Amino acid sequence: MNTRILSQHNIFYLFFILVLLVGSCAKINSPTGGPVDRTPPKVVETIPVKGAKNFRGKRITITFDEYVALDNINEKFMVSPPIKKKPKVYLKGKSVITDFDEPLRDSTTYTFYFQDAIKDLNAGNKIDNYQFVLSTGPVIDSLSVTGNVGYSSNLEVPEKTMVLMYANLADSAVVKTIPDYISRIDQTGYFRIDNVKPGKYRLYALKDQDNSRNYNLPDEEFAFLDSAINITPEKNFIPVKKDTVPVKKVETKPIQPQRKETTAGKKKEEKVVLPPVLKGEYQLYMFAALKKSHYLGSSARPSKYMLSYTLSLPPDSMKFDFSIPGAKPDKYIIERSRNRDSMKVWLTDSSLYNRPTDSTLVKYPFTDSLKKIVYKTDTIPMRFVMPRSFKGGKVKKAKYGLGSNIGTGFLKPGQNIVFISETPFRQADTSKIHIYDITDKEKKLNKYSLERDTINSGRYVMNSVITLGKKYLLIADSAAFGNIYNESNDSTAFKFSLKDPESYSSLTLNISNYKGERIIQLLDKSEKIVREVFMNKDGKVLFSLLENGNYRIRVIYDLNGDKKWTTGDFNSGRQPEPVSYYATELEMKPNWNLEQDWDIGVRNIKDQKLKQQKLDPGKH
CA pair distance 520, 516, nearest whole angstrom: 13
Q: Which band of pLDDT confidence, cut at 50, 70 and 90, is reported for residue 417? A: very high
Domain shared by 515 and 476, yes or no: no
518: exposed, middle or buried (Cβ count in 10 Å: 0-12, 13-18, 19+): buried
Whether omega for the bond prior to residue 158 falls within 30 degrees of 0, making it cis, is: no
CA pair distance 402, 140, nearest whole angstrom: 71
Boundary residue ending a domain (443, 474, 502): 502
Q: Which band of pLDDT confidence, cut at 50, 70 and 90, is reported for residue 392? A: low
Structural domain contains residue 316? no
Structural domain contains residue 319? no
Instruction: Give 30-66 pLDDT, tens digit per residue.
Output: 455 556 777 899 999 999 999 999 999 999 999 999 9
Counts of helices then strands in the chain (DSSP H, E): 4, 43
Structural domain contains residue 595? yes
Domain that holds residue 128: 43-135
Nearest one of 105, 113, 112 to 137, comparing CA atoms: 105
> Is pLDDT at 234 greater than 50 in this prediction?
yes
Taking residues 206-217, report their average pLDDT: 93
What's the confidence (pLDDT) of residue 34?
A: 59
CA angle 419, 422, 423 (to 5 degrees): 105
Q: At residue 404, what is the residue type?
A: S
Q: At residue 49, what is the residue type?
A: V
Nearest one of 174, 202, 182, 186 to 86, comparing CA atoms: 182
Structural domain contains residue 275? no
Q: Which band of pLDDT confidence, cut at 50, 70 and 90, is reported for residue 240? A: very low
What's the confidence (pLDDT) of residue 244?
A: 37
CA pair distance 350, 386, nearest whole angstrom: 15
Domain shared by 495 and 509, yes or no: no
Domain shared by 126 and 59, yes or no: yes
Structural domain contains residue 288? no
Q: Which band of pLDDT confidence, cut at 50, 70 and 90, is reported for residue 510? A: very high
Q: What percent of the chain has pLDDT over 90?
A: 73
What's the confidence (pLDDT) of residue 238?
A: 53
Query: In this structure, what CATH number is given to the domain that contains residue 581?
Result: 2.60.40.10
Boundary residue ending a domain (502, 522, 540): 502
Instruction: Give 444-476 pLDDT, tens digit per residue.
Output: 999 999 999 988 999 999 999 999 999 999 999
Whether omega for the bond prior to residue 81 falls within 30 degrees of 0, making it cis, is: yes
Average pLDDT, the chain: 85
Structural domain contains residue 107? yes
Domain shared by 490 and 544, yes or no: no
* pTM for the structure as a whole: 0.78
Taking residues 68-80, report their average pLDDT: 91
> Is pLDDT at 442 greater than 70 in this prediction?
yes
Structural domain contains residue 57? yes
Taking residues 312-338, report their average pLDDT: 95
Instruction: Give 243-269 pLDDT, tens digit per residue.
Output: 333 333 323 233 334 444 444 443 333
CA pair distance 158, 154, nearest whole angstrom: 10
Domain shared by 603 and 517, yes or no: yes
> Is pLDDT at 142 greater than 60 in this prediction?
yes
Phi, psi of 459 (to 5 degrees): -140, 125
Instruction: Give 169-205 pLDDT, tens digit per residue.
Output: 999 999 999 999 999 999 889 999 999 999 999 999 9
CA pair distance 515, 494, nearest whole angstrom: 50
Query: In this structure, what CATH number is given to the domain that contains residue 460?
Result: 2.60.40.3710
Domain shared by 498 and 509, yes or no: no
Q: Which band of pLDDT confidence, cut at 50, 70 and 90, is reported for residue 390? A: low
Taking residues 10-35, report their average pLDDT: 49
What's the confidence (pLDDT) of residue 385?
A: 82
Structural domain contains residue 418? yes
CA angle 156, 157, 162 (to 5 degrees): 145
Find the range with the poorest average confidence among 282-286, 368-372, 455-459, 610-614: 610-614
Q: How many CB atoms lie within 10 A of CB 147?
A: 23
Taking residues 559-568, report their average pLDDT: 96
Taking residues 512-535, report their average pLDDT: 96
Q: Which band of pLDDT confidence, cut at 50, 70 and 90, is reported for residue 273? A: very low
Question: Do the Cβ atoms of 505 and 551 come closer than 8 Å?
Answer: no
Q: At residue 278, what is the residue type?
A: L
Domain shared by 491 and 558, yes or no: no
- How many domains is the chain built from? 3
Boundary residue ending a domain (135, 165, 195): 135
What's the confidence (pLDDT) of residue 391?
A: 58
